Amino acid sequence: MSCPDRLDHLTNKVMTAASFLTPFRFLILLQIIAFQLACNPLANHDFRPDKPRIDFSFSADIRLSPDERRAGEKLESMREQLLNRNRHNWSFFTSFIDWKDRIVKEELYRTLEKMPKGGILHLHATATGDASWIIDRALNMPECYIYWGNKSDNYVTGQLGFFPDRQIPTGWFRISEINASRPQLKDELIRLYTIGPEDDSIPDIWTEFEAIFQRTDGFVSFRPVFIDFYRHAFETLGRDGIQFAELRTSIDPILNEDGSWTTDEHLLNLYQEIVMQVNESYPGFTLGIVACAWKGETLEAVRLKFERAKVLKAKYPGLIVGFDLVGEEDANQNNGYFASVVSSNQIPLYLHGGESLSPANHNIQDAINMHSLRISHGINLVNFPDLERTMIRNSILLEVCPISNQVLGYVTDMREHPALNYLRHGLQCSIGSDDPSIFRSSGLTDDFFVAYVSWRLDLRSVKKLILNSITFSGMPVEQKQKQLDEFNIRWKVFIKSVIQ
């Protein structure tokens, strides 16, 4: 999209938003637009095959074998063929979701799908699976209820829940009853549980984004569903070539069939039992948990969650791998506000930072001050070159989530994602999917495909991104080595399959 086209598009966005947003959110939108209108002089808009190769400093230490170089050339050829076929109508860069059905048929996509991907370090728990799976399961559970009324102080339309031995609140109905009177209910729920093209006109995408969690969390947090949901989700990751996941979760209690609750140690034991089930199909798949607190909570509430995480980590040192503060950064307290109750000396910190375009947002600086070992997103790091150099110097990993950043409106054109230049400058990164079920994605293939095509990555850089997911993970050193050994075995098999 050219700058004039983007100006027309963003002007319409401003006019639409002006009548809906609060003054604070409208100000943030203006900051986002100002950022996006500054056309990136390094953006990769020209995909001629003879264009000079991009030098990615972050992967300078990787040396490819002759077979790997041949595989890299073949992948680049696939990319050029794909781009040349779509040169005149290629809108993928501005909306991957619109192109997803066609992309999955491409040879390049199918090849990347087979690629071993190491670990996934940025993944939120109840958005890990598949929205269609949630809907199908709900429709087949007679005891499942759905709120089908106007948004209230407590509920949103389409919210799922269970009420064992409790009175059913007003506005809630058995989902089977609603389904009987609404033949298109599944399609309606897909739109309610995901963000897609139909949401492009929503002026405040974060409000809708957070409402999706409210709609599905009560369903996933019912013990019988919990077990099957995470088994299906982890098997999906394993099928996509992912060896382990670090799951971000608040470790909230889950509801049992009799109305009691499973909490703390019992809940963590349940996660471990699920992983053992997954190992039947995907041997060696492992799980780490990044305990989370919400930035919209009080200081005392966050302190209590951090103290609880400390206790659980002492009992499950291999399972609890870190702590994070989550939530919309421009609307909640900054990381530094919680520095007095969150300490990296007791649990490694993997903090969200820079999921914003505002130069007034200083969560990255706070995260660095708090000795966070990894930082998530870093979109507005482009405003702070000194901080970028600090992250490079201190070997702080940036967890990049390309599709998430685009869907939530931080990046309009994927070729202008700031991570492209971070990689050029030498900042170590990994690729994450963030909330795949909400973004109609799964595993990591989609995000790797986006990054590979949009940023003209070479195979050396792809390999480095994967290796970073292992070396910067929170698992113990001996487990990292086992994961590296397993990856190297899988990688050699993949390379041979590409060059055959």
Convert the pLDDT of each residue in 208-263 to its tens digit: 999 999 999 999 999 999 999 999 999 999 999 999 999 999 999 999 999 999 99
Q: Angle 185-193/205-220 helices, nearest 10 degrees?
A: 110
DSSP state of 52: P
Exposure letters 341-368 (e unless 16+ CB within 10 A, then b): bbebeebbbbbbbbbbbbeebbbbbbbb
- Total number of domains in the chain: 3
Could you tell me the pTM of the whole model? 0.90
Each residue's pLDDT, cut to its tens digit, for the chain (500 residues) gives: 444 444 444 444 444 444 445 554 555 555 555 554 443 434 444 544 445 567 899 999 999 999 999 999 999 999 999 988 877 666 778 888 888 888 899 999 999 999 999 999 999 999 999 999 999 999 999 999 999 999 999 999 999 999 998 899 999 999 999 999 999 999 999 999 999 888 888 889 999 999 999 999 999 999 999 999 999 999 999 999 999 999 999 999 999 999 999 999 999 999 999 999 999 999 999 999 999 999 999 999 999 999 999 999 999 999 999 999 999 999 999 999 999 999 999 999 999 999 999 999 999 999 999 999 999 999 999 999 999 999 999 999 999 999 999 999 999 999 999 999 999 999 999 999 999 999 999 899 999 999 999 999 999 999 999 999 999 999 999 999 999 999 999 999 999 999 99
Neighbours of 201 (CB within 10 A): 10
CA 410 to chain centre: 14
Coil, helix or strand for 290?
A: strand
- Identify the CATH number of the domain in which residue 342 sits: 3.20.20.140
CA 484 to chain centre: 23
> Are residues 117 and 181 both part of a single domain?
no
DSSP state of 152: -
Residue 61 domain flag: no
> Are residues 283 and 188 both part of a single domain?
no
Tokens 């070729």 -> residue: 415
**Residue 308 φ/ψ, nearest 5 degrees:** -65, -40
Could you tell me how many residues make up the chain? 500
> Are residues 433 and 363 both part of a single domain?
yes
d(CA 334, CA 336): 5
> Are residues 276 and 175 both part of a single domain?
no
**Residue 458 φ/ψ, nearest 5 degrees:** -100, 170
Tokens 């098999």 -> residue: 493
- pLDDT at residue number 55: 86
d(CA 469, CA 37): 32
d(CA 335, CA 368): 10
Residue 221 domain flag: no
Q: Checking DSSP bridges between strand 172-174 and strand 145-147, what pairing results, if any? A: antiparallel
DSSP state of 65: -
Residue 50 domain flag: no
Residue 217 domain flag: no
> Are residues 274 and 167 both part of a single domain?
no
Residue 372 domain flag: yes
Q: Checking DSSP bridges between strand 145-147 and strand 160-161, what pairing results, if any? A: antiparallel
Convert the pLDDT of each residue in 104-148 to its tens digit: 999 999 999 999 999 999 999 999 999 999 999 999 999 999 999
Sign of CA dihedral 164, 167, 172, 173: positive
> Are residues 120 and 13 both part of a single domain?
no
Sign of CA dihedral 325, 330, 336, 340: negative
Tokens 């034991």 -> residue: 269
- pLDDT at residue number 165: 81
For residue 461, the enclosing domain spans 111-128+229-494
**Residue 222 φ/ψ, nearest 5 degrees:** -100, 125
